[in-house]
Chain A
Amino acid sequence: NAGVTQTPKFRVLKTGQSMTLLCAQDMNHEYMYWYRQDPGMGLRLIHYSVGEGTTAKGEVPDGYNVSRLKKQNFLLGLESAAPSQTSVYFCASSYSSTSGYTGELFFGEGSRLTVL
């Protein structure tokens, strides 16, 4: 019963480096999301996907790219990391509006990224 799995859990980058965070879910959810969590700001939506091959921008998309090549995976990429991207990143998934959506999101345990 894995649910939503994020890798890696911790990463330290230097400014300008690139990296990819991987999210995998085994609940056959249509929708997937990437959030960032910063102290005192709650969670903010970076990008989301409503199905395989489709992605859309959220509230804070600048500096990030995403891909959803397979239904169960949602990748978040940083092409040129900046210190402002130091944060905890959460992936989440949910049912779609036509397949049992209740408003509940299922979250991974987070990926802590530090950019020096």
Chain B
Amino acid sequence: AQSVTQLDSHVSVSEGTPVLLRCNYSSSYSPSLFWYVQHPNKGLQLLLKYTSAATLVKGINGFEAEFKKSETSFHLTKPSAHMSDAAEYFCVVSDLFMEYGNKLVFGAGTILRVKS
């Protein structure tokens, strides 16, 4: 069975400093991995995805994530935080696409706070 663990429920950084949001996964197969972002009172938006191509994945707004199979990790990073990055971030794992429907498993979320 697949599962996702986001290691920090809250992360606080100062504007202009690096961001690291940690995610470990468990999957029986070769997984697809995603990061979604949710701004307050909004729906979720895809930041980036890994689907067995390059292990370093670049997403929108300067975010990137590295797939490390040996560590079963898919951490999200950004070199320099901006105030607009304050949001909740979800790491998501998907095994092989199921015949019916999309089998995504969501992590519990990490709330990113950016201080000025």
Q: Which residues of B contact A56 (CB under 8 A)?
A: 100-101
When C-beta atoms are compared, the residue in chain A nearest to B97 turns out to be A97
Q: Which of A1-42 contact B (CB under 8 A)?
A: 4, 31, 33, 40-42
Cα A40 to Cα B108 with chains together (Å):
5
B-side interface residues, number (CB < 8 Å): 23
Q: Which residues of B contact A44 (CB under 8 A)?
A: 106
Q: Is the CB of B34 within 8 A of A109?
A: no
* B58–chain A nearest beta-carbon distance, Å: 15
- Is the C-beta of A81 less than 8 angstroms from some C-beta in chain B? no
| Interface locus among B14-22, B43-51, B62-70, B79-87 | B43-51
Q: Identify the B interface with A (CB < 8 A).
A: 4, 9, 32, 34, 41-46, 49, 51, 90, 94, 97, 100-102, 104, 106-109
